[in-house]
């Protein structure tokens, strides 16, 4: 599918954003954690929105503490089903069903949890899944008025298509406010 959307950002600015993202991207301590631990431990840590160090993920800081242990328990009940997931979409659906009735567990928490469990299961997204940040970034970058649950990689500029779906999601989320114009990119320190 050819990208028929109007991309507002110049290639120069988009390439600067991609370079900034790659430079700041954290080493993957989560991948190391997944290698060293069983699926149950990975589910627990992911559901509690904790880095391997035990620190809460920054972008999950608003979730009330009582919601996360409940989310963990719901996910652990579905461990057998999680283990049999073969696609990221299937895994995300299981996670969303577990979190769907829990107040404070929204689409970002479900996506992040599925991403982390997916690392353990070697299941990665092939589509760019939307929550608030990436949705705003996609609207800004592509000039879209509405965005559904996910977007295919092939509607993005070629420089983004070369990245993983997760990296595209992260760029849309982190840099959403920089993607709506062609002003010079000013990286944050």
Q: Per-residue pLDDT for the chain (189 aa), expressed as one digit of tens each?
A: 444 556 778 899 999 999 999 988 866 778 888 889 999 999 999 999 998 888 888 878 889 879 999 999 999 999 999 999 999 999 999 999 999 999 999 999 999 999 999 999 999 999 999 999 999 999 999 999 899 999 999 999 999 999 999 999 999 999 999 998 878 888 876
pLDDT, position 3:
46
CA atoms within 13 A on the CB side of 174: 17
Helices 67-77 and 39-47: angle between axes, nearest 10 degrees: 150
User: Are 163 and 93 in the same domain?
Assistant: no
For residue 48, give both structure tokens: 């509690």
What's residue 6's pLDDT? Answer: 66
**The Cα angle at residue 64 between residues 60 and 68, in degrees rounded to 5:** 75
Domain end (from 121, 137, 156): 121
Q: Is residue 3 part of a domain?
A: no
> Is 117 found in the same domain as 35?
yes
Query: pTM for this one?
Result: 0.89
Task: Give the pLDDT confidence score for residue 5 in this predicted structure.
Answer: 58
Contacts of residue 109, Cβ cutoff 8 Å, sequence gap at least 6: 49, 60, 63, 71, 99
Same domain, 111 and 36: yes
Spatial separation of the C-alpha atoms in residues 176 and 134, rounded to whole Å: 7
Q: Which domain holds residue 22?
A: 11-27+127-178
Q: What is the pLDDT of residue 104?
A: 94
């Amino acid at each position: 599918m050819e990208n028929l959307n109007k991309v507002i950002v110049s290639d120069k600015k988009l390439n600067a954003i991609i370079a900034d993202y790659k430079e700041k991207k954290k080493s993957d301590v989560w991948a190391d954690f997944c290698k060293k631990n069983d699926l149950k431990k990975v589910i627990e840590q992911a559901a509690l929105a904790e880095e391997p160090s035990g620190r809460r993920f920054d972008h999950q800081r608003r979730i009330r503490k009582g919601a996360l242990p409940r989310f963990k328990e719901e996910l652990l009940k579905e461990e057998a089903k999680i283990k049999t997931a073969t696609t990221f979409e299937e895994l995300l659906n299981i996670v969303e069903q577990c979190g769907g009735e829990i107040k404070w567990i929204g689409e970002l928490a479900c996506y992040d949890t599925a991403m982390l469990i997916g690392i353990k299961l070697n299941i990665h997204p092939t589509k760019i899944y939307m929550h608030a940040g990436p949705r705003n970034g996609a609207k800004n970058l592509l000039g879209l008025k509405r965005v559904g649950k996910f977007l295919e990689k092939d509607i993005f500029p070629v420089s983004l298509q070369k990245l993983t779906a997760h990296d595209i999601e992260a760029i849309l989320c982190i840099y959403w406010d920089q993607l709506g114009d062609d002003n010079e990119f000013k990286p944050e320190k």
